[in-house]
Amino acid sequence: MTENRYLCFLSDIGKEKFMNQGGESPCPFCNRGALSDILDEAYPLVLLKNKYATFANTQQTVLIETDDCAADMAVYEPVHMQKIITFGTDHWLAMEQSGEYKSVAFFKNHGPLSGGSIGHAHMQIVGLKDIDYKRNLNADMFDGIEIVRKGNCVLNISTRPNACATEFNVITAPRNDRFMAHHVQNLVRYVLDRCSSFNLFFYQWNESIICKIVPRYVTSPFLIGFNIPQTSSRLHQIAEEVKRMID
């Protein structure tokens, strides 16, 4: 039997979500008193079930990062950034270890090209009941030109990116939320100085906790039509730019 590798989008729920959140509708994450199905809170962080679970055979949760609708990850105080990373990672790993899912996706959408539908800063933790996304991973995705190293914790730029020409990886082994938060935020700032959208993707891989930071542009037809990712002739220059910014 072939293992399932497709998510089924629930069109009726997707339509309902669009009708209730589109246009001039108020931000659903700003009205905290109206939030339901809350799973955990650590003010101003809130983890709750996604009201519009648009994919079948999943447990979709949302992590609201802030009570300020205009704020984003680039401007958080360092202590708040680390709080988000710790809170989110704890819940993600707990879902991974529960045994209820084949895999659990932890990610963030930001900006119009990221796949997100709500501007208020948030992340998502999604339990996949019949899909193991880790079967699609390989070590090459996380290899790259080293920018920063502290012990076994590394920040690099991918030489064999999964999709985007300029993907960054923050790799911590063992888990190091302080290193992760500091360098993810630095990279978010770098990316947002150059484009409007990005994604964060978190992985538990080979005893490491990894965050891949992906700037988002219009997707290449080579990737969509032929599954051919791109790299960049400027990787070494970009690595130096990021290193100077961090120093």
Q: What is the pLDDT of residue 20?
A: 67
CA proximity to 104, closest of 120, 118, 85, 90: 90
What is the SS3 assignment for 88? helix
User: CB under 8 Å, gap of 24 or more: what pairs does 231-234 form?
Assistant: 231/158, 231/159, 231/160, 231/161, 231/165, 232/165, 232/166, 234/166
pTM comes to: 0.95
Q: Which CATH architecture has domain 11-134?
A: 2-Layer Sandwich (3.30)
Q: Which residues of the chain does CATH 3.30.428.10 include?
A: 11-134, 136-246
Cis peptide bond prior to 174, omega within 30° of 0: yes
Q: Does domain 136-246 have CATH number 3.40.50.300?
A: no
What is the SS3 assignment for 210? strand
Q: What is the pLDDT of residue 14?
A: 73
Q: Is 67 exposed, middle or buried (0-12, 13-18, 19+ CB in 10 A)?
A: middle
Q: What is the pLDDT of residue 19?
A: 65
Task: Determine the length of the chain.
Answer: 247
pLDDT in 10s for each residue of the chain, 247 residues = 567 789 999 998 877 766 666 667 789 999 999 999 999 999 999 999 999 889 999 999 999 999 999 999 999 999 999 999 999 999 999 999 999 999 999 999 999 999 988 999 999 999 999 999 999 999 999 999 999 999 999 999 999 999 899 999 999 999 999 999 999 999 999 999 999 999 999 999 999 999 999 999 999 999 999 999 999 999 999 999 999 999 7
